[in-house]
Structure 1
Amino acid sequence: MPVAGQIMHRGAECINKTETLTRAAEMMNRLGVGALPVCEDDGRMCGIITDRDIVVKCVAEGRNPSETECTELCQGTPQWIDVNADVSEVLDRMERHQIKRLPVIENKTLVGMISERDIAQHLNEHQIAEFAERVYATA
């Protein structure tokens, strides 16, 4: 079975927690992604911001994304996985926390991101269906 480092999308970038949501949206657009890890000044991950977060938690609430910092939308403890973790661990983490994207860390540094697409390319149909059921299940 493959490990996280073999299925991840390389080249993930962090955005500093004090950057604005406008800057986050610009980065997402440039990178062609829908989520960015949010990092402290020392590079330690403190959350994830998604394109949906920007729309639903900022724009739809009448807030200005040019004046709202990424840290304002980050909630809870960010989830991540080690680059050498088995895919079964990746699935378990994503299913348990009902998350669709998972940062991959090597030596305390962000090295990639695993998305639903990455998972789908490495599972059989039954595993994909089980993954989708667990991640999208409503509590």
Structure 2
Amino acid sequence: MTTAKDIMHTGAQWIPAHETLDRAAQLMREHHVGALPISASGEQDRMIGILTDRDIVLDCVAVGHDPSKVTAGDLAHGTPRWIDADAGVDQVLEEMQSNRIRRLPVVENKKLIGMISEADLAQHLSEDQIALWVEKVYATS
């Protein structure tokens, strides 16, 4: 059985809630990623949200806020979603589809070990699986 660990990309990087969005953008550039799990300040292993490059643009820059003054924690909202490393691909797809999310942190023994993104799905799934995923995640209803 193919698992979340098999299809994820490794090297997911945390950003502490107190770090500013300009630092988050720098980390995204350095690690070639578009999302960072946000950790509770002082608690590297407790995820309070996920920050995306899109969040920085739409929820900070586009509304006239200064990314050097807004923190990752300021944009953390909702319930963070994650998947266990041993979960099967069907569980990964269900979690992403039911929550309409495009990135999913992978956790093993309560530690962040990777992230699953659209690109990872495209590399590991059949065309039919990808088409169904796109339909469910991007549906406008």
Q: Which TM class, normalised by the smaller chain length?
A: over 0.9
2:131 aligned with 1:129: yes
**Aligned residue number for residue 26 of structure 1:** 26
Aligned to 1:45: 47
Deviation digits for residues 60-91 of structure 1 (CA, Å, limit 9, x no counterpart): 11000000010111111100000000010000
Distance 2:74 2:48 in 1: 11
Which of 52, 58, 61 does residue 59 from structure 1 map onto? 61
Q: Mark the runs of 5 or more structure 2 residues left unpaired by the alignment.
A: none
Q: Deviation digits for residues 80-108 of structure 1, max 9, x if unmatched?
A: 00000001000000000110000000111
Report the count of equivalent residues: 139
The residue number in structure 2 matching 1:103 is: 105
Q: TM-score, normalised to structure 2's length?
A: 0.96
SS where residue 43 of structure 2 aligns? coil
Separation in 1, partners of 2:47, 2:97: 21
Moved runs in structure 1, 4+ residues, more than 2 A? none
RMSD: 0.7
Could you tell me how far 1:53 is from its partner in structure 2?
A: 0.3
Determine the C-alpha separation between the residues in 2 that align with 1:8 and 1:52: 21
Q: Indicate the residue corresponding to 2:7 in structure 1.
A: 7
After TM superposition, list the pairs within 5 Å mapping 1:85-100 onto structure 2: 85-100=87-102
Q: Aligned letter for 1:4?
A: A
Supply the distance in 1 between the matched residues of 2:72 and 2:119 (Cα, whole angstroms): 25
CA offset digits 1:25-55 (Å, max 9, x no partner): 0000000111000001212111000000000
1:129 alignment partner AA: A
Of all paired residues, the percent bearing the same amino acid is 55
Q: What is the alpha-carbon distance in structure 1 between the residues aligned to residue 43 and residue 55 of structure 2? A: 24
Following TM superposition, by how much is the alpha carbon of 1:123 offset from its aligned partner in structure 2, in angstroms?
1.2
